């Protein structure tokens, strides 16, 4: 399998698919295409017909879009979703909500693992997004989290979908209390999250569109 991704410092969508692959223990080749270069679009289009990453390539399959990649992986690795139908439905709902929502959090607090920007990007809209994320986490943990420290107990696709929010909370100094804070700490300590973070810190490319001014 081959996963085409972008800069680890900035590419929140890449992180989701990459974590899902790491979570199932599937070996894969990583192809990193740098964002914001003169040939970025051309290079991504060599792999991904949408012109966007992540894109998973496996023999005859080409799958783009993070959630489609996760669903495709889950056919082979069903442990990516929770074991019971009710928990699976809930996990899919919060994952789809993450995939299609939270525009203020995305635009005003872009993932930028290298930077510490406490308090930046807070507007009523981003505060509302943050509050909704925390409410989702608390609800999942309360309903389905008793068998482990992740949203649905063991690590699932839902955790992969919320992983970039965890790096955003770390950068922008969002410090939820109680169970949500414990979940955030668990995610940031996950070995694959630490591996991604170390690689992001080692990158030097800057994408001005994703940088808030000092
Ligand atoms: N909904 C898509 C979004 C993918 C996306 O927007 N990817 C960005 C990188 S994080 C991209 O490929 N950008 C291409 C560019 O900026 O040229 C997904 O879930 O994969």
| Residues 141-193: tens digit of each pLDDT | 999 999 999 999 999 999 999 999 999 999 999 999 999 999 999 999 999 99
Question: 164 is in which domain, residue-wise?
Answer: 81-197
Residue 208 lies in a domain: no
Cα(198)–Cα(176) distance, rounded to whole angstroms? Answer: 24
pLDDT tens digits along 107-148: 999 999 999 999 999 999 999 999 999 999 999 999 999 999
Cα(80)–Cα(173) distance, rounded to whole angstroms? Answer: 29
Distance 69 CA to ligand 1 centre (A): 13
Residue 203 lies in a domain: no
Query: What angle, 0 to 180 degrees and rounded to 10, lies between the N-to-C axes of helices 12-24 and 66-76?
Result: 10
Full strand arrangement of the beta sheet holding 55-58 = 29-32, 2-5, 55-58, 61-64
pLDDT at 213: 82
CB-CB neighbours of 22 under 10 Å? 18
Sign of the alpha-carbon torsion through 111, 116, 120, 125: positive
Give the Å distances, CA to CA, from 47 to 43, 75, 84, 106: 7, 22, 35, 25
Mutate to test the pocket of ligand 1, among 13, 101, 200 (most ligand atoms within 8 A of CB): 13
Cα(70)–Cα(98) distance, rounded to whole angstroms? Answer: 14
Strand partners, 32: 5
Pocket residues: Cβ below 6 A from ligand 1:
6, 11-14, 35, 40-41, 52-54, 65-67, 99
Mutate to test the pocket of ligand 1, among 18, 53, 112 (most ligand atoms within 8 A of CB): 53
Q: Of all atoms in ligand 1, which is nearest to the CA of residue 41? A: 17
Q: Of 29, 52, 78, which residue constitutes the final position of a domain?
A: 78
Distance 79 CA to ligand 1 centre (A): 26
Distance 13 CA to ligand 1 centre (A): 6
Q: Is 5 helix (H, G, I), strand (E, B) or coil?
A: strand
Regarding whether 144 and 41 lie in a shared domain, the answer is no
Regarding whether 192 and 88 lie in a shared domain, the answer is yes
Which residue is associated with the tokens 């792999």? 47
Q: Of all atoms in ligand 1, which is nearest to the CA of residue 13? A: 10
Residue 127 lies in a domain: yes
Residue 210 lies in a domain: no
Q: What value does the mean pLDDT take over residues 46-74?
A: 97
Distance 67 CA to ligand 1 centre (A): 12
| CATH number of the domain enclosing 60 | 3.40.30.10
* Alpha helix segments (H runs only) across the chain: 12-24, 40-45, 66-76, 85-100, 103-108, 124-144, 157-172, 178-189, 191-202
| CATH number of the domain enclosing 129 | 1.20.1050.10
Regarding whether 185 and 151 lie in a shared domain, the answer is yes
Q: Of all atoms in ligand 1, which is nearest to the CA of residue 12? A: 10
Distance 195 CA to ligand 1 centre (A): 21
Regarding whether 193 and 87 lie in a shared domain, the answer is yes
pLDDT at 214: 75
Q: How many CA atoms lie less than 13 Å away from 54 in the CB half-sphere?
A: 27
- Based on the structure, what is the number of domains in the chain? 2
Q: Of 62, 78, 94, which residue constitutes the final position of a domain?
A: 78
Q: Is 31 helix (H, G, I), strand (E, B) or coil?
A: strand
């Amino acid at each position: 399998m081959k996963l085409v991704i972008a800069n680890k410092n900035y590419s929140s969508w890449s992180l989701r698919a990459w974590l899902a692959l790491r979570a199932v223990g599937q070996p894969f080749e990583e192809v990193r295409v740098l964002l914001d270069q003169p040939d970025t679009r051309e290079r991504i289009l060599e792999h991904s017909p949408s012109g966007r990453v992540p894109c998973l390539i496996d023999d005859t399959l080409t799958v783009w879009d993070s959630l489609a990649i996760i669903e495709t992986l889950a056919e082979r690795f069903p442990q990516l979703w929770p074991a019971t139908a009710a928990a699976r439905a809930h996990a899919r709902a919060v994952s789809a909500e993450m995939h299609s929502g939270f525009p203020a959090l995305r635009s005003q607090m872009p993932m930028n693992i290298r930077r510490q920007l406490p308090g930046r990007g807070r507007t009523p809209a981003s505060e509302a997004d943050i509050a909704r994320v925390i409410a989702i986490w608390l609800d999942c943990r309360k309903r389905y989290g008793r068998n482990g420290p992740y949203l649905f107990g063991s690590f699932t696709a839902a955790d992969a979908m919320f992983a970039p929010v965890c790096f955003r909370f770390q950068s922008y100094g969002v410090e939820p209390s109680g169970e949500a804070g414990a979940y955030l700490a668990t995610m940031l300590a996950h070995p694959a999250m630490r591996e991604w973070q170390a690689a992001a810190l080692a990158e030097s490319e800057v994408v001005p569109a994703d940088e808030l001014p000092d």
